Structure 1
Amino acid sequence: MVVNAFVPAADYTGAPTWLPSGFGFFDNLSIAWNESGLGLGLANSLLYATVSAGLAVFSAALAGFAVVVMPTRRPTVWFWLIYLGTLLPLQIFLAPLFKAYVGAKVYDTSLGMILIYSAICVPFAFFIVRNFLTTLPPEITEAAQLDGAGWARLFFRIHFPLIKSSLFAAFIFQFTWVWNDLLFGITLTTSPDRRPVMAALAEISAGFSSLGPPVVLAAAIVASLPTVVLFLACQRFFVSSLRAVG
């Protein structure tokens, strides 16, 4: 992938090689950038992934706190009710979601994309945060309540800092999922200034024969960089939270 992305599009022959025949990476990227609006796709995906993952993780933290820490009736039922969202195939949402979005006039809007991504990301983020909360000793809650702490203070001042690593792990998972999504990107958007990066990359791939494989591969490398950078930057929190959940 990397070798062929550096081959100038005009020089690509399709013959197997371990070394590029030139340095055409930036020329290939420029073609992809101009032909498909890759820059807009990157900006849109950054917005969708950051805001949606953040909202989903915060909602999951509130739900996990309610199910594990607060005296909620039938917490197991609530857990499965929320977690059920990860077990349903996403394709079953498309038809009713499309009709609802058109009726609510949020089809092909940034708000519509953020709403669906936030909702889809909550169940798995809840699973991570809820499991991490179960590892915290209940004495922490009891001691804080003896000191007069209410539920809001318990959440924001005590539990929220303690579950920070699980929140980072959930955010990485959900950011990556939103960034890599193609299904909702091509179903709920049509405008180049609203579609995410994977939809833009799909358009480049549709012009595979005319643009050339090096152009497509150069765009794919750039599209994959943000998730790699995020994982490397938050790796310490990611590993520590998964150990605790496991």
Structure 2
Amino acid sequence: MTRYIRPVTVVVLSLLWLVPTYLLVVNGIVSSKDYSGTVHWLPTSFGFFDNVRQAWQAADLGPAMLNSALYATVSGALAVFVAAMAAFAATVLPGRGKVLWFWAVYVGSLFPVQAFLRPLFNGFASTGLYDTRLGLFVIYAATCVPFSFFILRNTMRSLPPEVAEAARMDGASWTRMFFSIHLPLVVPSLVAAFIFQFVWVWNELLFGITLSFSGGVRPVMAALAGLQGSYSTVGPPVVLAGALLVSVPTVAVFLAFQRMFVSSLKTNV
């Protein structure tokens, strides 16, 4: 009897997880003209493309999606590279206090982002970074470093120390070791960390609505939040169709790098 508990639990939890997604899809494809104000469990009409068109125009999703793509790609890649250098320093380079340095970097991921909003807003306003792409690049990259560092440090710690010792005996510099030996060995973890950060930046809302307001700067989730405030104008099906549209890039990135992502999880577990 006990052997069935685990698979049954997994199935039940999976169904509970899929119910909101199912309702999102069903109510997103229902025509806004036929929407009665109550949740649809079965599609009564098909108006998905019209809903997407209205969401695209009302929220100006095109520039917003381009902004988020830039933020997620550039900030995610920069954060992963910085985290890789920090992980290399905390695992391979000689020195003391490596545990202290680990917590000094990783503790940044333990605080809620809401705690940073007020000081960040004041700082951005006083330095001219408010409502600029550069400001969002900086905050997203800085916020993504701690968790990426956690993943990459664990992976580099699993590498045999003989690799670094052999490289040093052959006369390799620390820079050569980092770029030619350790980075290639942790490529799956680099990809996994990038996926995590890409998805987080793409779905991030608080920094987007706090540190930007113009259409040429704000990320897609901030634009979608503005669309959600227009319920009386566009209707819930349009908002849900917009949510389905903006979720496509993150799903595509995950599916494209799925094998490396799974491989990295096996390494870090």
TM-score range, shorter chain: over 0.9
Rounded to whole Å, the distance in 2 between the matches of 1:124 and 1:190 is 28
Query: What is the match of residue 104 of structure 1?
Result: 127
- Give the alignment's TM-score, normalised by structure 2: 0.89
| 1:188 maps onto 2:192 in alignment | no
Out of 9, 27, 43, which is 1:20 matched to?
43
Query: What is the match of residue 197 of structure 1?
Result: 220
Rounded to whole Å, the distance in 2 between the matches of 1:142 and 1:44 is 44
Over the matched positions of the two proteins, sequence identity in percent amounts to 57
Query: What is the match of residue 210 of structure 1?
Result: 233
| 1:243 maps onto 2:269 in alignment | no
Rounded to whole Å, the distance in 1 between the matches of 2:63 and 2:95 is 44
- Partner secondary structure for residue 10 of structure 1: coil
- Conservation of the 8 A alpha-carbon contact between 2:212 and 2:218: yes
Offset from partner CA, 1:122-163 (integer Å, 9 cap, x none): 000000000000000000011111111000110000000000
Out of 139, 146, 150, which is 2:169 matched to?
146
- The equivalences for 1:16-165 within 5 A come to 16-165=39-188
Deviation, structure 1 residue 21: 2.9
Q: Which moved more, 1:87-96 or 1:123-132?
A: 87-96
- Give the alignment's TM-score, normalised by structure 1: 0.97
Rounded to whole Å, the distance in 2 between the matches of 1:15 and 1:207 is 18
Distance 1:16 1:195, change over 3 A: closer
Q: Which moved more, 1:227-236 or 1:52-61?
A: 227-236
Offset from partner CA, 1:95-114 (integer Å, 9 cap, x none): 11111111111110000000
Q: Which moved more, 1:11-20 or 1:141-150?
A: 11-20
Rounded to whole Å, the distance in 2 between the matches of 1:148 and 1:19 is 67
Rounded to whole Å, the distance in 1 between the matches of 2:141 and 2:29 is 36
What amino acid is aligned across from residue 136 of structure 1 in structure 2?
L
- Partner secondary structure for residue 33 of structure 2: helix
Deviation, structure 1 residue 210: 2.1
What amino acid is aligned across from residue 216 of structure 1 in structure 2?
V
Deviation, structure 1 residue 19: 3.8
What amino acid is aligned across from residue 73 of structure 2 in structure 1?
T
Pairwise CA RMSD of aligned residues? 1.1
Deviation, structure 1 residue 53: 0.4
Rounded to whole Å, the distance in 1 between the matches of 2:266 and 2:57 is 44
Give unpaired runs (5+ residues) of structure 2: 1-23
Offset from partner CA, 1:10-44 (integer Å, 9 cap, x none): 11113554442332111111111111111111111
What amino acid is aligned across from residue 188 of structure 1 in structure 2?
L
Distance 1:98 1:17, change over 3 A: closer
Deviation, structure 1 residue 224: 0.9
- Partner secondary structure for residue 51 of structure 1: helix
- Partner secondary structure for residue 111 of structure 1: helix
Q: Which moved more, 1:74-83 or 1:12-21?
A: 12-21
Alignment length, in residue pairs?
Answer: 246
Q: Which moved more, 1:156-165 or 1:99-108?
A: 99-108
